[in-house]
Amino acid sequence: MTSAQPEKKKALAYRQTGQPDTLVNVGANVCFGAEKIVLIGGPCAVESQKQITDTARAVAEAGAVMLRGGAWKPRTSPYDFQGLKEEGLLMLAQARQETGLPIVTEVLDPRDVEKVGEVADMLQIGSRSVQNFPLLREVGISGKPVLLKRGMMTTIEEWLDAAEYVLAAGNSNVVLCERGIRTFDTALRNTLDVCAVAVLKHITHLPVIVDPSHAAGDFRYVVALARAAVAVGADGLLVESHWRPAEALSDANQSLTPGQFQELTTECRAVATAIGRTL
Ligand SMILES: [Mn+2]
């Protein structure tokens, strides 16, 4: 060792020499890390049965293979809409039954992991929870596929250390999701770190996907960022879409209409073809 720092144990999250990409399967038909790029669509929050089912149908028609939707919402202000909680989970399950799309939804509290895991096909750890270590341990123990978002202030190394908590608990089904970080620039909500995707595809064997919606915070830039994500090598896209964005109770400004979501699919498919992948 030339460094004075003690050697860190990074055996699980980091790619060992020659180690192939890890594939993470969700439901019967979705596989992260394979040639086909996984497109996930749906609203920021579950708001009603009609809203989630109609949005699910729309994104499925436009090429999405998984449904997103928050039942527990970590909001910056405690007075903002906090989600429909258990009721929202049941609505997600109903939307899955009607469309066949597996569900990814956020779990906020270690005490809810079992309850959310009984319904969700994949557990999302949100940006604000990326270093909630008891929660990471709990989703590790659950064995369910985990979508681990990057914190807005988390370095790549800290993010992989967070993944290590899940892996160390015996759960190898971890998908990393870049969603924009805070930088000096204030033009958009966050800055999409496409560098992180390139770096991660090299240093970890875990699948890496991109959330262009929270990076941009503005529907006008989501399609362009999604194209960039596919070009840099992302294994999937997590995109906020709403059947009526103007009525959305959270993140209305970055939600795509079904028509815009279709446009995203068409353009990203062209980029995927250009780099020898499918979507
Ligand atoms: Mn959102």
pLDDT in tens, 86-138: 999 999 999 999 999 999 999 999 999 999 999 999 999 999 999 999 999 99
Query: Which two structure tokens, joined as six digits, stand for 63?
Result: 């090429």
* Contact predicate 56/91, CB 8 Å: no
Position 4 confidence tier, pLDDT thresholds 50, 70, 90: low
Kind and range of the H or E element at 31? strand 30-32
Count CB neighbours of 51 within 10 A: 21
Task: Report how far residue 262's alpha carbon sits from residue 257's, in angstroms, rounded to the nearest whole number.
Answer: 9
Phi, psi (deg, nearest 5) at residue 240 = -80, 130
What's the gap in Å between 266 CA and the centre of ligand 1? 23
Whether the CB-CB separation of 89 and 71 falls below 8 Å is answered with yes
Sign of CA dihedral 200, 202, 208, 214: positive
Task: Output the pTM of the full model.
Answer: 0.95
CA distance 1 to 118: 46
CA of 75 to the centre of ligand 1 (A): 9
Rounded CA separation 149/68 (Å):
13
Instruction: Round to whole Å and give the CA distance between 37 and 66.
Output: 12
Q: Determine the Cα–Cα distance for residues 94 and 67; give it in Å rounded to an integer.
A: 12
Note the pLDDT of residue 8. 56
- The CATH code that applies to domain 43-274 is 3.20.20.70
Cα 135 to middle of ligand 1, angstroms:
20
Residue 255, pLDDT score: 96
Mean pLDDT, the chain, as a whole number? 95
* Ligand 1 centroid, distance to 68 Cα (angstroms): 10
Cα-to-centroid distance, 67 and ligand 1 (Å): 13
pLDDT of residue 261: 98
